[in-house]
Amino acid sequence: MSIQGFLLLAAALFSVGLFGVLSQQSIVMLMMGLELMFNAVTVAAATFWRYLGPGSPSDQVVVVVAVVAMAVEMAVGFAVTTAIFRARDVDVVDAATDLKDEP
């Protein structure tokens, strides 16, 4: 597969993720769209590293660290979403804007 194919894949992933972020109100769907956008950036970065500096293991390590960081970020995000849902029974973004405790 050529560099254009990988960049087209990254652009398609980013476009689907952006559509998901802009069109959904569910917190989980919003986070899924953000994850798709982050994955598109990772695919594009890995493509450039593969074609501009082949054979360098440090590039692979950077990609693996980025994927692990995204996984941790999404786990924390889902934990916060679950806590908000359990505390307030809120699952849409508009209703979760006020996060301070009310007496």
Task: Give domain status of residue 87, yes or no.
Answer: yes
Q: Which two tokens stand for residue 38?
A: 């982050």
pLDDT of 63 over the 70 cut: yes
Domain coverage including residue 21? 3-94
Task: Give domain status of residue 89, yes or no.
Answer: yes
Task: Give domain status of residue 41, yes or no.
Answer: yes
Task: Give domain status of residue 54, yes or no.
Answer: yes
At 55 the pLDDT is 72
At 7 the pLDDT is 92
Task: Give domain status of residue 99, yes or no.
Answer: no
Task: Give domain status of residue 21, yes or no.
Answer: yes
Burial (CB count <10 Å: 0-12, 13-18, 19+), residue 17: buried
Q: Which two tokens stand for residue 8?
A: 């087209």
At 95 the pLDDT is 62
Residue 48 to residue 14: CA distance in whole angstroms: 16
At 96 the pLDDT is 58
Number of domains present in the structure of the chain:
1
At 75 the pLDDT is 87
Determine the average pLDDT of the residues in 33-60: 82
